[in-house]
């Protein structure tokens, strides 16, 4: 049995977001994510933490998945990079680290 080697993924910077769209002090990363991406189609995450992977592949708006650690986020984005986030995947996926105000 042979396995096909996938091409290495380009190194992906983690973008830090400190800006959001209101003056409130959000206490949870889930609330902050809703404020940063008010036009998100959905925001999900099994363990909503400060990291998020965001797909900008849909004209309707971004989709956001929250992660507890950078390692989890990298694993998650590697998965959608290889498999595509949807049928209309444009491969515009980003890792974001949110900072609470």
Contact residues: Zn ion, CB under 5 A = 20, 22, 35, 55, 57, 85, 89
Smallest distance from the beta carbon of 5 to Zn ion, in angstroms? Answer: 22
Q: Which is nearer to Zn ion, 20 or 53 (CB)?
A: 20
Q: Which is nearer to Zn ion, 3 or 25 (CB)?
A: 25
Looking at the Cβ atoms of 49 and 55, the one nearer to Zn ion is 55
CB of 25 to Zn ion, least distance (A): 8
Burial class (CB in 10 A: 0-12, 13-18, 19+), 88: exposed
Residues paired with residue 14 on neighbouring β-strands, in sequence order: 95
Please, which residues have CB within 8 angstroms of residue 4's CB and are 6 or more apart in sequence?
none
Instruction: State the Cα–Cα distance between residues 95 and 13, nearest whole angstrom.
Output: 7
């Amino acid at each position: 049995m042979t396995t096909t080697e996938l091409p290495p993924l380009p190194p992906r910077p983690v973008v830090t977001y400190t800006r959001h769209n209101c003056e409130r002090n959000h206490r949870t990363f889930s609330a902050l994510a809703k404020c940063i991406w008010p036009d998100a189609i959905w925001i999900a995450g099994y363990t909503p933490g400060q990291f998020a992977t965001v797909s900008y592949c849909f004209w309707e708006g971004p989709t956001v998945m929250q992660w507890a650690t950078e390692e989890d986020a990298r694993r998650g984005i590697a998965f959608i990079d290889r498999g595509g986030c949807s049928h209309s995947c444009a491969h515009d996926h980003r890792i974001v680290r949110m900072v609470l105000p």
